[in-house]
Every structure is written in structure tokens, then in C-alpha cells.
Amino acid sequence: MAKFRADNTINGREARLFIDSDEIGYAKSFEATIEKNKVDVAILGNRWLGKKTTSLSGTGTLTLYKVTTKFSKMLLEYATTGKDVYFTLQGVLDDPGSGRGTERITLLNCNIDSVKIGQFNVEAEALEEEIPFTFEGAEIPEALKDGFE
């Protein structure tokens, strides 16, 4: 059986992020979480409180270098027209040195929670913005290897 080696780790700089198929080269970090929503189920004769999963919710955060007003405009689209903007995010991990293959995570029906409409900082060498979002579906069309060779 093959063992895990240090070179199997994935260099985070080998990641890419796409929004509606357009690469966002100014992304600094990306994370997304799926959470199970559960209800309590009391069961006669059992002292343990049971849990039943009833739905899922997806949340995430993009951290970007502040080089565009793209996301502010997306949020203001709702303010001016009443039409909310939804998009697809795809994160790609592909470190050829790791030997793990490529992972693609696709998040569906993404929607921004908030954006900073203005930002200045005299001490910042590179301005960043953090954008929280929700999503309503996920796919893994390409996954990393499970075993080690």
C-alpha cells in the first residue's frame, strides 16, 4: 500500500477561480461550506435526542484584491432594477507536483450577501475586499485521487 508523502500536499497558489466561466485572476482566497440543517426527534424509550437532516445550506467567502467594481455593480443591479444577480462559481485545484490530479468544485445559484461600496486605507499596500455569499447547489465534476501511489 502506498503512503502519503509531503509532495502530495497541494500548493494553494495552483488554484484558479471562475465566475460564469470567466477566470477571476485577482482572487486571493475562496472557501465554501455546506451545512446540514437538522431537526430534533425525540424517541420514546431512548435518552438520546435524535437528529434528522431536513435540508442543506451553502455559504462561502471570496477574498479578492480590490481592482474592480464588478461585485458592487452586481449588488446595485438589485437596488436599481429589483432583479437579483445569481452566478456560478467554479474553483479549480491543479498542482501537477502533488500527483493528486485535478479537483473542480462548481457552486450553483451563488448570490452575494454584502459588499463594501467604498474602501480606502492609507496603510494598505494592496486593498482587499471580502465578499460573503450563499449558494444553492454544488457539484464535483472532477475529483482528486482517493488513494496514494
pLDDT tens column, 88-144 = 999 999 988 888 888 999 999 999 999 999 989 999 899 999 999 999 999 999 888
Mean pLDDT of 36-55: 98
Taking the C-alpha atoms of residue 64 and residue 77, their distance in angstroms, rounded to an integer, is: 20
Q: How confident is the model at residue 1 (pLDDT cuts 50, 70, 90)?
A: low
User: How confident is the model at residue 71, as a pLDDT?
Assistant: 93
CA 88 to chain centre: 10
Q: How confident is the model at residue 5 (pLDDT cuts 50, 70, 90)?
A: confident
- Please report, rounded to a whole number, the percentage of residues in the chain having pLDDT higher than 90: 77
Q: How confident is the model at residue 70 (pLDDT cuts 50, 70, 90)?
A: very high
**Per-residue pLDDT at 46 exceeds 90:** yes
Half-sphere exposure of 85 (CA within 13 A, CB side): 19
Alpha-carbon separation of residue 8 from 4, 30, 98, 101 (angstroms): 7, 21, 4, 10
CATH 2.30.110.40 is held by the domain 6-142: yes
User: How confident is the model at residue 137, as a pLDDT?
Assistant: 98
**Per-residue pLDDT at 149 exceeds 80:** no
Q: Please, are residues 88 and 110 in contact by the beta-carbon 8 Å criterion?
A: yes
Taking the C-alpha atoms of residue 100 and residue 8, their distance in angstroms, rounded to an integer, is: 7
